[in-house]
Amino acid sequence: MKLQFWSMDMIFAIVIFSIAILLLTYAWFSISQQFSITYTNTLSNMQTNAQQLSNRLVTTGSPASWYYSMDPSNLSTWTNMSIGFAEINGSALSSAKIAKLEAASQVNYQASKQLLGVNYNYYIQIYSPQLYNYTIGLNPSLYNATTVVVSSTPIIMDNGVPATLKVILWTANQGVSVSTITIYTTEPTTI
């Protein structure tokens, strides 16, 4: 009689244990799937924002002479403008406009993010083998970036020198490892 009770107890325990394992497995996969969807949406949003910012930066901005009225140390002069690096005649990117945004980002990085219309941290590089090397924003390698999206565009600078505009958006608040997505636009940008 005792052996029958023991086997019934054992069967009952196995059933309860199996149900608990099934519920735990379901919860685990459900949470993993939700995290994956959220991460994918964030990554897709970052890719779109990086490409849009890159496209905006190769325009003249609005107004086209925004850099004349902008004082990097006076935030009230940062209103009602859209940043673009192209010269007013639209032939190439202006070193003066680039230098103005570089100075503004050093004075107030958070305000410069709003000015550029991005919700992520940013780092803009403009470089050429011959002459140019501008960096604007926060370098992701110095801040333990966890998600990095890069948009790279060939450009022409104001003196006719070919260069590359690289827009990097990044986050450092989630995840454990670095995930890098690179978007390259291969056609040269003529403005």
pLDDT one-digit tens code per residue, 20-77: 888 888 888 777 776 666 666 777 888 888 899 999 899 888 888 888 888 888 888 8
Does 138 fall in a domain? Answer: yes
Does 190 fall in a domain? Answer: no
Does 189 fall in a domain? Answer: no
Residue 165 — very low, low, confident or very high, per pLDDT cuts 50/70/90? very high
Does 109 fall in a domain? Answer: yes
Query: Contact, 164 vs 153, CB < 8 A?
Result: yes
pLDDT, one tens digit per residue, over 119-163 is 889 999 999 887 778 999 999 988 888 888 888 888 888 888 889
* Number of domains, the chain: 1
Does 159 fall in a domain? Answer: yes
Which DSSP string do the residues of 63-124 spell out, in sequence order? STTHHHH--TT-GGGGSS-B---B-TTSSSB-HHHHHHHHHHHHH-HHHHHHHHT-SSEEEE
Strand partners, 137: 123
- pLDDT: which is higher, 2 or 106: 106
pLDDT, one tens digit per residue, over 95-116 is 889 999 999 999 999 988 988 9
DSSP state at residue 189 = P
pLDDT computed for residue 27 by the predictor: 80
**Residue 135 phi, psi (nearest 5):** -135, 130
Question: Which residue pairs from 45-48 have beta carbons closer than 8 angstroms and sit at least 24 positions apart in sequence?
Answer: 46/120, 46/147, 46/149, 46/169, 46/171, 46/181, 47/149, 47/151, 47/181, 47/183
Does 126 fall in a domain? Answer: yes
- Domain span including residue 100: 2-184
Lookup result for tokens 């890098």 = 180
pLDDT computed for residue 186 by the predictor: 43
Does 125 fall in a domain? Answer: yes
Does 191 fall in a domain? Answer: no
pTM over 0.75: no
Residue 168 — very low, low, confident or very high, per pLDDT cuts 50/70/90? very high
